[in-house]
């Protein structure tokens, strides 16, 4: 892949992830649990990891978090987003690198979702200076399993379509 093509794909992924992140803020889930989101931008993160590699996946997550915070005007939200996003990406990178041929994209997504919630909960515990907030972890883990499965399923389907169309994603 040429450098120009790679740069265009990275820019498109950043734009898509940022747009999904912003749109997701307007989606109201039918559950009254604070902090639970679908994590739609993670579809793009996982696709970036599969197609472009770990360095570009980290770049896309970092810029998506920064741009979404700038658009949303929420610096505290940035801390939660970047901590969850980077830990999630790290977990997915390690799983893909060391177990990728033995586990599914859905499993990688599930573990990334769990990591995302743990990263955010850690930042929250530091901000309020109280580790009792971890009693909230079981609720977040259940939501991570549901949303992680959805993200993993959509990513798998999208990746398979890209593979069929191009024999290589890009």
Summarize pLDDT for 6-42 with one digit per residue, the tens. Answer: 999 999 999 999 999 989 878 777 666 666 778 999 9
Angle between helices 75-99 and 105-128 (to 10 degrees): 140
Residue 73: which domain range? 3-166
Question: What is the total count of domains within the chain?
Answer: 1
Q: 74: Cβ–Cβ under 8 A, 6 or more apart, which residues? A: none
Angle between helices 41-51 and 137-166 (to 10 degrees): 50
CATH of the domain at 48: 1.10.1760.20
Q: 160: Cβ–Cβ under 8 A, 6 or more apart, which residues? A: none
Can you give the pLDDT at residue 1?
A: 80
Can you give the pLDDT at residue 34?
A: 67
Contact 84, 35 (CB under 8 A): no
pTM of the complete model: 0.89
Contact 115, 87 (CB under 8 A): yes
- For the chain, the average pLDDT equals 91
């Amino acid at each position: 892949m040429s450098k120009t093509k790679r740069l265009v794909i990275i820019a498109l992924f950043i734009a898509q992830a940022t747009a999904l992140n912003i749109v997701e803020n307007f989606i109201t889930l039918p559950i009254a649990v604070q902090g639970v989101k679908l994590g739609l931008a993670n579809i793009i993160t996982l696709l970036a990891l599969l197609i472009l590699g770990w360095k570009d996946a980290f770049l896309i997550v970092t810029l998506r978090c920064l741009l979404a915070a700038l658009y949303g005007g929420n610096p505290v939200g940035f801390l939660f987003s970047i901590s969850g996003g980077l830990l999630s990406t790290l977990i997915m990178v390690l799983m893909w690198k060391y177990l990728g041929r033995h586990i599914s994209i859905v499993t990688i997504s599930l573990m990334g979702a769990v990591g995302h919630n743990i990263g955010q909960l850690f930042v929250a515990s530091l901000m309020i200076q109280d580790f009792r907030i971890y009693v909230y972890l079981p609720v977040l883990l259940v939501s991570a399993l549901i949303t992680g499965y959805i993200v993993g399923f959509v990513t798998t389907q999208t990746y398979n379509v890209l593979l069929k169309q191009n024999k290589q994603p890009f």
